[in-house]
Amino acid sequence: MFALVSFLIALTFSHREASYSKEALKDEVTGLPGLPDDYEAKIFSGYMNTHNGSVFYMFLEAQESPETAPLIWWTNGGPGCSGFNGLLEENGPFRPNKDGNLDLNPHAWNKKANMVFVEQPVGVGFSVPSVGVNYTDHGAALDNHAFLSNFFDRFPDLKLRPFYLSSESYGGHYLPTLAQQLLLQPIPNTSFGGFLVGNPLTYLPFRDYGQYFTAWGHQLLPKPLWDDIMNNNCLTFSKNLKQNSKQKIYSRKWRGHPRKNNEICDTLIGQADQIMSPLDPYALDFPVCNTANRAGRQERFFLAKALHKVKKNQGFKGYFPPKYEPCEDSYTEKYMTRPDVQVAIHAIKNKISVRDWSVCSNVVGSKYSDHDVMAPMMPIYSFLVSHPAKIKMMIYSGDDDSVCATAGTQEFLWSMGWDYDTDKYWQEWKTDDNLSGFVTTFKNGFMFKTVHGAGHMVPSTRPAQALNLLHTFLFGNE
């Protein structure tokens, strides 16, 4: 009898559905156009107030055990690009096709995790800004903190499980600054577990070095040109370490790069850019602009514009190809500008008030702080690894990307001076018994994983490996 009762109790809890508040149920999406009938996980979408306006979001229940699954908050980079880029082109459960329907993604990140995708900063996508927003990393962190606090109020059941942050590209600024804010101002009754970020922008001198070193490593540049670049100190940098609140402070100084070499370096880097121009710098070994490589083109374009703007203002004219353009065709934008889709996801109330939508916002991108784009993230990471909360942190890096290259990320990581054990240094990790890359876990718990053959957008260029590394991060080796 006892065994029967135990079985019935276990059966009841195994089929228990996640519970939602009345406010959350107002945001439930009940008829997403083009969604296959066999997709059963719940979807919610709507607006959430923040300090500087309202952020548009889509919350997707985990396809397995949503009542106990952890939560992942996802944003894309830019700066100024929508998290729906990731949702509809990278790691979400469905993707628009040329017929206007949605194809299911077998490597969706919400297989075992609840996921909320956001359009931030305010002004991106359907998100609505207040008047006179000052676009900075700190402002984004405060708004995203407010979003999460209000999100947990609307979805209180999610407070009972750990939550994590994830992003890529300019997420290398968004995530550590938001993580810092969450540790300085914890959201009551929640469990912040940490973050994982792909191919992040951490510090511009490291990024610059990484781009051209990767081109050289792929043997895309002739040795005489590479020697000239190095001999003229066009990519070298120095690191000034000062003690300030026990944090390492890095200053942007170019060792051996006097003013008289600017013209020479502009010419040399321009020659390298010209040689690489037929290739996609974000995925060097992938075909340029075909359907398999289409994902994330707008976001990459916006990072390119931000970097070019900073370089131009600094007097480094040749450091990024200004004519890098996204593909013209975008199934995502066509889908998101459909009136029936906008009504279904609660972006608008009726089909008469249809809104424009684009993957990235020119206004946000152009107004974003140059100072913050240039800012080093090392002091923030020093704060995070030394914080008693001991959150989990991982950088994963597609080694086919040259713009936020693995080589640049390694310059960042090894400059931090973190200790490691030899048995956790540069170890193989595999997916389906095939080598996926190499992993190093530092003594402070920080993890670095390379993803072999992946470009800037790892979930779209190596989807199986991306899902594997996510599950390992969340649940350990399984």
Active-site positions? 169, 401, 456
Which residues are CB-neighbours of 419 under 8 A, at least 6 positions away?
Answer: 442, 443, 444
Amino acid at 340: D
- Per-position DSSP letters for 73-111, written without gaps between them: EE---TTTB-THHHHHHTSSSEEE-TTS-EEE-TT-GGG
Q: Mapping DSSP to helix (H, G, I), strand (E, B) and coil, where does residue 247 land?
A: strand
d(CA 183, CA 362): 32
Tokens of 170: 């300019």
Asked if residues 123 and 358 have their Cβ atoms less than 8 Å apart, the reply is: no
d(CA 383, CA 181): 11
Please identify which residue in the block is written with the tokens 């000034």.
Answer: 240
What are the angstrom distances between the C-alpha of 170 and each of 62, 93, 201? 26, 23, 6
Tokens of 45: 């979408």
Burial 317-332 (b: 16+ CB within 10 A, else e): bbbbbeebebeeebbb
* Helical axes 378-386 vs 171-184, angle rounded to 10°: 40
d(CA 334, CA 358): 9
Tokens of 71: 């939560």
d(CA 455, CA 353): 38
Closest CA to 30 of 356, 343, 335, 352: 343
- Helix or strand (DSSP H, E) at 59: strand 53-60
Q: Residues in the chain, how many?
A: 478
H, E, C per residue of 361-406: CHHHHHHCCHHHHHCCCHHHHHHHHHCCCCCEEEEEEECCCCCCCH
